[in-house]
């Protein structure tokens, strides 16, 4: 029984894996934040590229710009 108590005390006092777990939690939270930010930015970028396209395509075709109609 004393061996079990000794083993349990050693296990509870051992903090060697705590840092690795903390880093894993931080990395997972950062990845969630980055994925959320990319999802938000994606909608804005789509609008910007569509606006740019609406100016470039008529210019290449020689037709009036959308604002000039």
Q: What is the pTM of this model?
A: 0.47
Phi-psi region of 62 (alpha: psi -120 to 50; beta: other; left: phi over 0): left
DSSP-derived letter for residue 68 is: G
How confident is the prediction along the chain (69 residues), in pLDDT tens digits per residue?
A: 788 888 888 878 877 778 888 999 999 999 999 998 888 887 788 888 888 988 888 888 877 766 655
Domain that holds residue 58: 2-68
- Per residue, the 3-state secondary structure of 8-67, as one string, reads HHHHHHCCCCHHHHHHHHHHHHHHHHHHHHHHHHHHHHHHHHHHHHHHHHHHHHCCCCHH
Domain count, the chain: 1
């Amino acid at each position: 029984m004393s061996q079990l108590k000794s083993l349990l005390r050693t296990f509870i006092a051992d903090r060697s894996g705590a840092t690795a777990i903390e880093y894993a939690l931080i990395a997972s939270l950062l990845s969630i934040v980055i994925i959320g930010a990319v999802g938000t930015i994606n909608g804005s970028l789509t609008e910007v590229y569509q606006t740019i396209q609406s100016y470039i395509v008529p210019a290449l075709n020689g037709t009036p710009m959308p604002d000039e109609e």
